[in-house]
Amino acid sequence: MLDVSLLDVIKAQAKIKDQINPTPLLSSPALSEKVGADVWLKVEALQKTGSFKLRGAFTKLFSLSPREREKGVITASAGNHAQGVAYASAHLHISALIVVPKNAPETKKAGIQRFGAQLVEFGDNYDEAEAHAFQLAETTGRTFVHAFEDEQIIAGQGTVGLEILLEQPDFDTLVVPAGGGGLICGVAVAAKAINPDIRVMGIQSHASPPWYYSFREKKIADVTYFDSLADGLHGGISQGNLDLALQVVDDFILVEEAEIAHAMYWLAKEHHFMIEGSGAVGVAALLNGHLNLAGQKVCTILSGSNVDATKLGSIIQKHT
Indicate the pairing of strand 251-255 with strand 118-121.
Answer: unpaired
Rounded CA-CA distance 83/53 in Å is 8
Q: How far is CA 122 from CA 24, 126, 129, 131, 186, in A?
A: 38, 9, 5, 10, 31
DSSP string, 204-235: EETTB-HHHHHHHHTS---------S-GGG-S
- How many Å apart are CA 163 and CA 301, to the nearest integer? 12
The region, left, alpha or beta by phi > 0 then psi within -120 to 50, assigned to residue 181 is left
Buried b (16+ CB within 10 A) or exposed e, 183-218: bbbbbbbbbbbbeeebbbbbbbbebbbbbbbbbeee
Catalytic residue chosen out of the listed positions 53, 60, 108, 192: 53
User: Does the active-site annotation cover 303?
Assistant: yes
From 99, 115, 189, select the one nearest 152 (Cα to Cα).
189
| Torsion sign (Cα): 291, 208, 247, 162 | negative
Q: Kindly report the number of other CB atoms within 10 A of residue 161's CB atom.
A: 30
Among this protein's residues, is 53 annotated catalytic?
Answer: yes
Angle (nearest 5°) at CA 264 between 260 and 269: 140
Chain length of the chain: 320
The kind and range of the H/E element at 312 are: helix 309-319
Catalytic residue numbers read 53, 303
